[in-house]
Amino acid sequence: MSPVCFAPDSGGGGGASTPAPWGETKVVGARLPRVDAYERVSGSAVYTLDLQLPGMLHAAIVRCPHAHARVKRIDTAKAETMPGVRGVLTGESPGAAIPWYQGREGPLSLLFDPHCRHEGEEVAAVAADTALQAHDAARAVVVEYEELPFVVDPDKALAPDAPKVHDWGNLLGQPRVTTRGDVAAGFAAADAVVEMTFRTPVQMHTPMEVHVSVAQWDGDRLTVWDSTQGVYAIREALAGALKLPLASVRVVGHYMGGGFGSKLELGKYTVIAALLARRLGRPVKAALTREETFLVAGNRPSNVITLKAGAKRDGALTALEARLSGPVGAYPTSAVSAYQIGDLYTCPNVKFETTNILIHAGKARPFRAPGFPSCNWALEQVVDTLAEKLGLDPVELRLKNIPTVSQLNDNAPYTSTGLARCLTEGAVAFGWTEARRRPKTAGHLRRGVGVAAGMWGYGGDPNATAIVTLYADGSVNLNTGASDLGTGTKTVLAMVVAEELGVAPDRIQVEHADTATTKFAPSSGGSQTVLVNSPAVRAAAIEVKRQVLEIAARQLDKPVGDLAVADGAVVVAGAGGKRVPFSELKGLGERRMLVGVGMRHPHPEGKLALPFAAQFAEVEVDTRSGAVRVLRVLAAQDSGRVMNRLTFNNQVFGGVVQGLGFALTEERVLDRATGKMVNANWHDYKVPTMLDSPAEAECLPIDPHDTECNTVGAKGLGEPAHIPAATAIANAIHDAVGVRPLEAPVTPARLVALLAAQERKG
């Protein structure tokens, strides 16, 4: 017998070499419904929020109601005697003095910090028999605050007399400047130059499932069920916070209701659940209320972006210069990004400066393509304006500047760039030329079309390990550490196994996202899930297939080369070839199961594999009310191979709708007088509903048949599907009514004001 395991990176050892890329596939790419669709729609799926453990208590968190305050005194006496209350936790409780937010010189904050730097900061916590009892008791905790001056307006935060968020001031690092070539020379060589200043909103993640953890101790070992995007990241942070060995912390994240980046890091609620569970000897669930998530679960920071661009008459960009700044809250873990300005288009002369400003508000956190939609909002409106100035079709100008290398990464070549095809084929599918020719006006309702391109800049973690196990009856277990945020990860990875092993997807069970039972997979974020894990899963399946064929070759007395797998059987080559179901392979039965371990094949050294997109939108603007309806969207996506056409569509439509929210409706509003968020709920914070969504949305996958990016040919999708959506709508609005919506969201009030100003200008 040969080794049980496959290792792609073996140097002449037992592992196979890198497998050949797929050509035509049978299962991969199909419109396969989710393998867990029944559970998800029937309500039988147990999300972390649904989890009930015997004896489980419920936590509620006492939060600072001020934008900036110092806790002077906490009186928990009343709360402790309230019905059902089992315990109260404050910063003074044993083991609760846990350092939290890390600054350059170490932690700057505590789990329960008496210095509260934003509304909603954690002050104490209560555990009670029911969630309502816990919230009642949390309200009964008496906290005496010294209110402090605050700053929530980024435009004022850098003033010398502005209240400081942290000791060193309100700048997170110094403004960072990136340059390439000579922008002055570039602008001098330009036939047209445009400069504009844009404002983008603070957008909230608002996943369907709120942030929630359940903690349970078993001796010195901690198990946490967490609604997370990455069980391994949470485990590492949690073990660090509680000073436990990694092996003693188990993080499980099964059914999960979305994250969009806000569930990549450890939440204080998770640590609070663990501390209460340890103290009280019972499992504890800590679930944020919807309202709490708006205050503490993170956001996409707003940006102010001034962008100047120059181009030759033919559309070739000569220079791009930008200043970007944004308020990243009090404890940021995300920042503004000018990546796309540097890399979406070929441009020899580029300069950009990014500034991250601290304010007394909830933290910036990675949010679906951190920095990219904001940056795109500026870049793709400026490019459109340049096209207008030069009398070029917006698609034409973009096609003039298609990159084949990453200028921000030493001109490393892309394994593929489908951007030109996204633009040209997208334009055809959308009917771009015809639509541009149509008259804009129909009374007060005006229609317009817009396009925006985009790219995403992350190629994924180099590590991922998967285990595939074939059982004696031909059914399969797929073991992967990857989280499925609701995007279909389980389905796609099962299809990879089905493709390679020739078994039906419904005979494949997926064990996933559990640090005690799976091997490492990076967090499901950065659009890396499919491209990082699929090659690992494929490698594991190939190793199992190798063992199957070896066993079959012995049983059938045929060379391995004459054998293949299909439909749960080994098939002998040639007409009328014999077919032996896996369940009849004696050697498989004897060995009980065959096990293959696979690891990721990172993309080829010196090259980058990144996805591109071009999205087209048609809108109807009501010039009386300022209301914008998005009539239709076509999203042309170069994300490499389509793994599952249904999940592909879902990702794209979701990205488009979230972009629609960014463009038209979503915005955190902070009250300048109190520093408090005034729309911290789903009534006042406007997430698009089905009624707001485009009536028509089409998804056009552009597959460049990339055989270099990895062994499955897939690139990232979740983020590039979202990045250009808002800007395509902005450009369509401009096309419809002739005003340039510099500030997002383009609410009716803002658009009416723009139209009024246009009318005044005449």
Active-site positions read 719
* Minimal distance, residue 606 CB to a second copy, in Å: 19
Does 13 sit near a second copy (CB under 8 A)? yes
Burial 646-680 (b: 16+ CB within 10 A, else e): bbbbbbbbbbbbbbbbbbbbbbbebeeeebbbebb
* Phi, psi values for residue 346, rounded to 5°: -65, 125
Binding segment for a second copy among 40-48, 109-117, 132-140, 450-458 (CB under 8 A)? 40-48
Candidates 26, 31, 38, 672; binder of a second copy (CB under 8 A) is 38
Cβ distance to a second copy smaller for residue 306 or 509? 509
Candidates 5, 224, 319, 541; binder of a second copy (CB under 8 A) is 5
Cβ distance to a second copy smaller for residue 42 or 174? 42
The sign one gets for the Cα dihedral 74, 77, 80, 83 is negative
Q: Using CA atoms, how far apart are residues 243 and 264, in angstroms rounded to an integer? A: 20
Cβ distance to a second copy smaller for residue 289 or 475? 475
Does 243 sit near a second copy (CB under 8 A)? no
Does 278 sit near a second copy (CB under 8 A)? no
Q: Using CA atoms, how far apart are residues 165 and 115, in angstroms rounded to an integer? A: 10
Cβ distance to a second copy smaller for residue 356 or 518? 518
Burial 683-692 (b: 16+ CB within 10 A, else e): eebbebeeeb
Does 472 sit near a second copy (CB under 8 A)? yes
Q: Using CA atoms, how far apart are residues 735 and 733, in angstroms rounded to an integer? A: 5
* Minimal distance, residue 251 CB to a second copy, in Å: 12
Would you give the DSSP letter of residue 116?
A: E
Q: Using CA atoms, how far apart are residues 399 and 717, in angstroms rounded to an integer? A: 22
Q: What element of type H or E holds 397?
A: helix 394-399
* Minimal distance, residue 93 CB to a second copy, in Å: 21
Q: How many residues bind a second copy (CB under 8 A)?
A: 68
Angle 307-311-313 from CA coordinates, rounded to 5°: 150
Candidates 22, 47, 187, 217; binder of a second copy (CB under 8 A) is 217
* Minimal distance, residue 661 CB to a second copy, in Å: 32
Does 165 sit near a second copy (CB under 8 A)? no
Does 17 sit near a second copy (CB under 8 A)? no
Binding segment for a second copy among 77-85, 144-152, 459-467, 601-609 (CB under 8 A)? 459-467
Q: In what order do the strands lie in the sheet with 465-471?
A: 508-512, 476-480, 465-471, 593-599
* Minimal distance, residue 177 CB to a second copy, in Å: 30
Q: Using CA atoms, how far apart are residues 560 and 564, in angstroms rounded to an integer? A: 8
Q: Which residues 46-85 are close enough to bind a second copy by CB under 8 A?
A: 46, 52-54
Binding segment for a second copy among 137-145, 257-265, 476-484, 629-637 (CB under 8 A)? 476-484
**Cis ω before 745 (30° cut-off from 0):** yes
Helices 372-390 & 725-737 angle (0-180, nearest 10): 30
C-alpha atoms less than 13 angstroms from C-alpha of 269 in its C-beta half-sphere: 28
Map residue 682 onto helix, strand or coil: coil
Spell out the SS3 assignment of 171-231: ECCCCEEEEECCHHHHHHHCCEEEEEEEEECCEECCCCCCCEEEEEEECCEEEEEECCCCH
Structure tokens at 381: 């409106």
Candidates 471, 572, 580, 607; binder of a second copy (CB under 8 A) is 471
Q: Which residues 497-516 are close enough to bind a second copy by CB under 8 A?
A: 506-509, 511, 514, 516
Q: Which residues 582-621 are close enough to bind a second copy by CB under 8 A?
A: 590-593, 595, 597, 599
**Which of 124, 36, 130 lies closest to 83 in space, CA to CA?**
130
Binding segment for a second copy among 109-117, 140-148, 467-475, 634-642 (CB under 8 A)? 467-475
Does 517 sit near a second copy (CB under 8 A)? yes
Candidates 2, 174, 561, 574; binder of a second copy (CB under 8 A) is 2
Does 493 sit near a second copy (CB under 8 A)? no
* Minimal distance, residue 547 CB to a second copy, in Å: 10
Q: Using CA atoms, how far apart are residues 262 and 418, in angstroms rounded to an integer? A: 30
Does 10 sit near a second copy (CB under 8 A)? yes
Q: Which positions lie near a second copy, rule CB under 8 A?
A: 1-7, 9-11, 13-15, 36, 38-39, 42, 44-46, 52-54, 217-221, 232, 236, 239, 245-248, 250, 281, 462-463, 465, 467, 469, 471-477, 479, 506-509, 511, 514, 516-520, 590-593, 595, 597, 599
